[in-house]
Chain A
Amino acid sequence: MSLQGYLSIVLHAHLPFIRHPEYPDFLEEDWLFEAMTETYIPLLRMMRRLTDDQIRFRLTMSLTPPLCEMLADPLLQERYARHLDKLSELAEQQRIEKRGTPFHDAAASAADELAETKRLFNEEWHRQILPVFKGFQDQGSLEIITCGCTHGFLPLMATDEARRAQISIAVANYKKHFGRAPRGIWLPECAFVPGIDALLAENGITFFILESHGLTQSNPPARYGTFRPVVTPSGVAAFARDLESSRQVWSAEIGYPGHPNYREFYRDCGFDLPYAQVRPYLHEDGVRRNTGLKFHRITGKLPLDRKEPYVPAWAAETAAEHAGNFLFNRQAQCRYLKEVLGTTPHITAPYDAELYGHWWYEGPTFLEMLMRKTACDQDEIVMITPSEYLQIETVHQEVMPCLSSWGANGFFEVWLNDGNDWIYPHLHCAEERMVELTRKFPNADGDLRRALNQAARELVLAQASDWAFIITTNTSVEYAEKRTRDHISRFNGIYFQIMENRLEMNWIAELEWKDNIFAEIDYHAYTPVNHKASAGAVYTSDDD
């Protein structure tokens, strides 16, 4: 059968910037370490296996600027190496301890995986994994796209300057890490409002990823719904999420990751092992936490204490079956769509990268099998990156997508609600102050320039959508609130020092050391535009 459709798998890899040089170790830095061990490195290993076997594959990944900065940071690299050492040691202990039990396969497999991860990270990649991603991009198999510079929620910003800065700082950072400009962007939280497309065009971005209803309720209606990209009036292409392929992976009820053979996320050695044994692998505070070593399978809807041993071979087989099922469904979907629409459909399947490996341990195996089957077993579906697709198909409908995000209920409720709305007056005030500083000091140099650049860093760090999200999901609320407060407070401190001409360079230097994201940042990213704020401008009766 001939070509029936295109498929773009898009993985969004993001973590907030968490780096605390002021402490010897820091709990929340583990988020990065877990994602590296369970997602980023397994994905790279998957790409390498495919490349070695000369399998054609296409994958799109957004590596957000804070993630890139953390992956390239020597301090975090050092800490990750230490983390890997400890984890490998525990895994080796478990390999031995579990010998002769039904858990031995799981323990041995985990120990082997960790040993290989350690070898690759330390010896082969010399702790630098961004160049490995870049290598796959350079060979054409992987398209890396960017994101808002700190994953700031663009529609809830007060000024166009702040939105523009989120994009332009991200583009500059991408160039630093990957040696060329990004072609695409994953809008933070897929949050779109008309007007953002113009800012993307200004920064040379050619496409972005959009939530489904951003397109299905577009103006005018998109003729092909989510099954072909559209072009906004600013000339930027929008690829909307396909609901069907998303549901197959994401859904808690019918999604693949819930299969009984897969590894159970919530049963972890950190809670199972005797405290004396696990204590050396915990943080300084000694509180039991997940270690990442898990030897049980989902089994079914059962209490955690009734979960059965994990069998890696069964899980791998199931992942292959699911990959086949996913491909079969895409083939059927595309055949139907092509017949009904009369055009070759394009399916955009975006996911959180951390779903693959971290939450769904077998996710990378599933992806690998999907790539292999797509390349070798059929010719109806072609995997493609958005950039490649835009080269092949150049004529698109022009529509303006509507207000949308990929959060619960499809709009902005997750990031703006009773629990977290207190942050916006402070953030908006800081935005306006930053624009004011840039207007007042257009040609700063020396210490003043350093202070202005640090103010920009503190502002973008405070804007990360992760903080509002975490407050809503009630996970690490204290930390999220602390980060928001600290960055706003630091920003305000710098602002007043600049305005009152009393710079304390020791303190600025300390902040540069602590919040060292974006060494290349240029405060001119906040250069004022001619018109007033557009997303909800402040008007007083005096203004009128």
Chain B
Amino acid sequence: MDRSKLREMTIKSLRAQAESLGVKRVNALKKEELVEAILKAETSASKTGAPSAKVSSQSVKSAKSSEAAEAVKGQASKPTEKSEDKKSDKAEVKKSGKSGGKSMRGAKSLKAAEAEDVEAAEDEAVEAEATEAEAKASEEVSEKVTEKVEEPAPVEPDSIFIDRGAILPEYVPGTCLYALVRDPGTLFVYWNATFESDNGWLLTAYDHAGNVLQSFTTPARRNGRGYFRVPTARVSRVTLSIVREYGEPEVKLESRIRIAQQLGIAQPRPAYDERWVDFQKHEVIYEAPAPGRAPAFAEIYQSVTAPAMTGGGYDRSVENQNISGVNGGSLSSRFGSLPGSSDTLVGSSDRLIRK
């Protein structure tokens, strides 16, 4: 059937037509997609000689959007489409001189190329054996090319059907408020509520002291998503509240943000300045306490007396020196000297000694 005639039909009758041709999932198809599917089914039927060819709604595959755009520009149908479509195809080719022109130019240039190829192949065949083989191959390929060019020049298709996949439920089940750190300045939240709110929702992000960092209101939908632009390291919790008639919020859901610490944004500093471990043995080789951390007497005692440097502390003899004397020379043998490390050591040692 003619494409234009099909386009004039109602969607209901198109569906019926498509169904009769064995097209699946007709209810999921839009009008233009139905037209395409019908034409395709008819083409397949005429090709195979079968009364109807089954075409699923997925039979025309998705394409990159840019390419799809080009396809839409191109217009027309496939070379194998049956004669009924030719009228409309011709009309469309006229409209889009680009694709038709390209095909014509292609035919001409190929014929010319073919003639040149044969001549060139003959010349080269005389010159050397290697080129002879190539020339032979060229003749074969030229024949193939000729065969293909002799076929009616196909034109580029006009549109493609895009399968968008299954439809997902609008809501996830249950009641939830979920917060995810996207970056140090953005917190993503989504929620799903099973209760009503006439005046919309109020979403609020609080810091650890209970201060409001940011809040925003949303329409009274049962679910939604949004972003807080807040320093995520400071966020302690997020709440979802019902807005009462006089603006008084009532907290209904709460999401505690444990993520900030876990995501390394607000990790507490460890109790050491620097620690080196043996990767293979899983042993601490060297550890310097954090600045400002007051070591206990036992630690000081241990650091002065203990021969090994594990467990936090180091030999007084390294004071104002390079690290190369630490731990019986094991570090120096491993790393050589570590410029800059003496500063750390001096600073830490000073505190250690003063204490």
A residues near B (Cβ < 8 Å) are 22-23, 26-28, 89, 92-93, 95-97, 99-100, 155-156, 158, 193-195, 219-220, 223, 231, 235, 237, 273-277, 279-280, 283-289, 340-343, 390, 393-398, 400-403, 409-413, 416, 421-422, 424-426, 428-429, 474-479, 481-486, 488-490, 492, 534-542, 544
Contacts and interface: CB of A to CB of B under 8 A. Distances in A.
A219 B148 contact: no
A397 B274 contact: yes
Contact of A428 (B172, B275, B340): B172
Given A100-B120, A394-B278, A535 B142 contact: no
Contacts of A486: 165-166
Contact of B145 (A93, A400, A488, A536): A93
A491 to B, nearest CB: 11
B150 to A, nearest CB: 10
6 contacts: A97-B117, A219-B267, A223-B274, A231-B279, A482-B62, A535-B263
B117 A390 contact: no
Contacts of A541: 251-254
A155 B107 CA distance: 55
Interface stretch (B45-53, B154-162, B197-205): B154-162
B103 A276 contact: yes
A97 B111 CA distance: 10
A92 B64 CA distance: 28
B25 to A, nearest CB: 14
B102 interface: yes
Contact of A287 (B59, B68, B166): B68
A233 to B, nearest CB: 8
Interface residues of B, number: 108
A394 B283 CA distance: 11
Contacts of A92: 137, 141
B229 interface: no
A407 to B, nearest CB: 10
B71 interface: yes
Contacts of B12: none
B78 to A, nearest CB: 6
A401 B282 CA distance: 18
A283 B109 CA distance: 23
B168 A287 contact: no
B116 A397 contact: no
Given A89-B141, A287-B71, 14 more contacts: A275-B155, A284-B61, A289-B67, A341-B338, A396-B279, A411-B184, A475-B64, A476-B64, A477-B65, A478-B62, A534-B258, A536-B178, A536-B180, A538-B255
B188 A275 contact: no
Contacts of B269: 219-220
Nearest to B109: A274
Interface string B73-92: 01000110000000000000
A462 B162 CA distance: 19
Q: Most chain-B CB neighbours within 10 Å: which of A195, A220, A343, A489?
A: A220
Contacts of B106: 273-277
B350 interface: no
Contacts of B62: 27-28, 476, 478-479, 482
B254 A275 contact: no
Contact of B225 (A422, A492, A536, A542): A422
A287 B281 CA distance: 60
Given A219-B267, A220-B274, A343-B335, A93 B144 contact: yes
Interface in B101-155: 102-103, 105-107, 109-110, 113, 116-117, 120-121, 137-138, 141-142, 144-145, 148-149, 151, 153-155
Given A343-B336, A403-B184, A395 B190 contact: no
B276 interface: yes
B70 A158 contact: no
Contact of B164 (A93, A475, A485): A485
B181 A286 contact: no
A411 B183 contact: yes
Given A155-B263, A274-B107, A482-B163, A537 B251 contact: no
Contacts of A538: 176-178, 255
A22 B58 CA distance: 10
B262 A195 contact: yes
Nearest to A427: B172
A401 B264 contact: yes
B17 interface: no
Contact of B339 (A341, A484, A490): A341
B265 interface: yes
Given A235-B279, A424-B190, A536 B181 contact: yes
Given A97-B117, A287-B157, A342-B338, A540 B264 contact: no
Nearest to B180: A536
B253 to A, nearest CB: 5
A280 B61 contact: no
A99 B117 contact: yes
A273 B275 CA distance: 63
A397 B65 contact: no
B267 A194 contact: yes
Nearest to A286: B157
Contact of A398 (B153, B188, B276): B276
Nearest to A27: B61
Nearest to B105: A274
Nearest to A237: B279
Contacts of B258: 534, 536-537
A520 B22 CA distance: 38
A489 B165 contact: yes
A277 B180 contact: no
B203 to A, nearest CB: 14
B63 interface: yes
Given A402-B264, A421-B225, A488-B168, A539 B256 contact: yes
A27 B63 contact: yes
B355 interface: no
A457 B53 CA distance: 33
Contacts of A27: 61-63
A476 B65 contact: yes
A410 B61 CA distance: 34
